[in-house]
């Protein structure tokens, strides 16, 4: 505030309605990450911003207190965090500021939020003694009393959480009339069993549509699958694909499934095909999962690994794909051209090539499988390149790529430009070596935007 004091008088004269709009930028907001993988991220732009803004002057205090949306993000986080010491060592913090957060402040924030929909983030764990648990229980009790206003809920429960704190959530059963988005993670290996009588606490949330399960434990809760439109799970457990679960989710538009759990392969023969008539986006971190889905309206596919297992799926639906995102490991790069021939109408294509083994065994000038795949995408003479309709191309060649591979990328892009392809945007992900950066920076094609990542800045010791 001292540094900004010369401009404060003019800012303080800003009309309240304009100030209120400006202050709204500090709220929790959604943005799209850039890069080869785009994902939606929610976060608050400025931590505890309403409290800071309300202490500048009386005019700002009146403005913040009159804007209920500013106070609509409630966060309780008791998980300890790591700090980095001056000598570069990681150290676990001994306490968390939430444990010192006054109950009166939470109640004041809830009061100032009036009737605004609430975005609630609860990360519970590391409660070492009874006083910690009692304080957190009182905070939870105050927040959960307003569960009928929850618009989104992020709930992460880890180790050292008293069972009474978990049972505090019983009050939200049937009281989630406004909940639309749920992010739920429960570490059962640290916590023990989830109370059976709380398994259905989210089952009767009539507006719940977006569910994210980032944990690696079997889901201890029931979900209203028929009304879901977006579902993400870090791990894929066989019971998720059961007829009574995702088999009921006919309204799903977006589905993103992580790698199968260790017992999944043993249960594959018992899993029936899941018919998802409205699904547009399917993200699979293991191509083997594609065998279980019938998706007649799919137009966006992401495959992280085992693309060979997804070829039968792409045989069926590849011609209708408009967006394709694949990570191709060294052992499967050779089949990439065959894979891409099945997707002739893709307009947005993201390719990432990953090397395995010792990268220093690769000799400069060696023609790798990824080089061969990139050359297959090159327009040569009268031959048409793979995916000829691509307008947006994202490339990740890997930090250990040789110049042979980077030259193959350049030749592929240059040939498409020379052939008057519709390519309009080229984006690179990861480290681009200086020599390759210079070549692409010098490539001047009308209508083509080339986005290169910022050069790495290496400090002392690197």
405 pLDDT exceeds 60? yes
Nearby residues of 259 by Cβ (< 8 Å), 6 or more positions away: 235, 236, 285, 286, 305
Mean pLDDT along residues 254-270: 73
* Residues 117 and 123 sit within 8 Å (Cβ to Cβ): no
428 pLDDT exceeds 60? yes
Mean pLDDT along residues 80-102: 55
User: What share of the chain has pLDDT > 70, as a percent?
Assistant: 74
**Residue 126: CB atoms within 10 Å:** 20
22-36, 324-338, 345-359: which has the minimum mean pLDDT?
22-36
111-115, 340-344, 454-458: which has the minimum mean pLDDT?
454-458
Please, which residues bridge with residue 186 across strands? 157
pLDDT score at 181: 95
Q: Which residue has the higher pLDDT, 164 or 378?
A: 378
Nearby residues of 209 by Cβ (< 8 Å), 6 or more positions away: 180, 181, 227, 228, 229, 230
Q: Which residue has the higher pLDDT, 174 or 259?
A: 174
82 pLDDT exceeds 60? no
Mean pLDDT along residues 199-210: 93
pLDDT score at 382: 46
Helix (H) and strand (E) counts for the chain?
14, 20
pLDDT score at 88: 56
Q: Which residue has the higher pLDDT, 159 or 349?
A: 349
323-329 and 300-303 as β-strands: parallel, antiparallel, unpaired?
A: parallel
40-44 and 28-32 as β-strands: parallel, antiparallel, unpaired?
A: antiparallel
Name the strand (E) or helix (H) holding 212: strand 210-213
Name the range with the highest mean pLDDT among 9-23, 193-207, 291-305, 366-380: 291-305
252 pLDDT exceeds 60? yes
């Amino acid at each position: 505030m001292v540094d900004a004091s010369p401009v404060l008088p003019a800012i303080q004269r800003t009309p309240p309605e304009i100030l209120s709009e400006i202050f709204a930028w500090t709220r929790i907001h959604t943005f799209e990450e850039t890069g080869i993988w785009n994902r939606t991220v929610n976060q608050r732009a400025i931590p505890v911003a309403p409290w800071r803004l309300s202490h500048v002057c009386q005019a700002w205090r009146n403005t913040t207190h009159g804007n209920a949306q500013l106070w609509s993000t409630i966060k309780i986080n008791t998980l300890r965090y790591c700090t980095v010491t001056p000598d570069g060592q990681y150290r676990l913090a001994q306490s968390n500021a939430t444990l010192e957060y006054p109950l009166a402040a939470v109640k004041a924030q809830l009061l100032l939020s009036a009737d605004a929909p609430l975005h609630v983030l609860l990360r519970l764990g590391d409660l070492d003694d009874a006083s910690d648990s009692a304080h957190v229980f009182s905070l939870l009790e105050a927040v959960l009393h307003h569960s009928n206003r929850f618009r989104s809920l992020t709930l992460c429960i880890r180790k050292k959480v008293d069972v009474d704190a978990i049972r505090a959530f019983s009050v939200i059963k049937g009281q989630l009339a406004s909940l639309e988005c749920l992010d739920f993670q429960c570490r059962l290996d640290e916590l023990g069993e989830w109370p059976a009588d709380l398994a259905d606490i989210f089952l009767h949330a009539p507006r719940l549509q977006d569910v994210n399960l980032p944990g690696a434990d079997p889901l201890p809760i029931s979900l209203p699958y028929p009304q879901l439109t977006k579902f993400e799970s870090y791990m894929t457990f066989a019971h998720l694909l059961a007829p009574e679960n995702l088999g009921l989710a006919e309204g799903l538009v977006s589905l993103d499934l992580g790698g199968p759990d260790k017992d999944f392969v043993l249960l594959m023969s018992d899993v029936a095909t899941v018919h998802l008539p409205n699904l547009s986006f399917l993200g699979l971190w293991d191509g083997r999962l594609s065998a279980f889905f019938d998706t007649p309206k799919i137009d966006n596919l992401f495959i992280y690994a085992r693309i060979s297992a997804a070829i039968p799926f792409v045989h069926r639906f590849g011609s209708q794909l408009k967006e394709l995102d694949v990570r191709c490991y060294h052992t499967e790069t050779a089949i990439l051209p065959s894979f891409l021939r099945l997707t002739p109408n893709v307009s947005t294509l993201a390719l990432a090539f990953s090397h395995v083994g010792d990268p220093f065994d690769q000799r400069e000038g060696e023609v790798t499988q990824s080089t061969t795949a990139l050359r297959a995408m090159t327009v040569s003479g009268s031959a048409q390149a793979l995916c000829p309709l691509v307008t947006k191309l994202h490339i990740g060649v890997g930090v250990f790529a040789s110049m042979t591979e980077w030259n193959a990328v350049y030749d592929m892009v240059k040939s498409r430009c020379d052939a008057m392809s519709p390519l309009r945007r080229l984006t690179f992900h990861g480290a681009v070596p200086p020599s390759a950066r210079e070549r692409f920076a010098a490539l001047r094609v009308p209508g083509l935007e080339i986005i290169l990542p910022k050069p790495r800045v290496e400090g002392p010791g690197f």
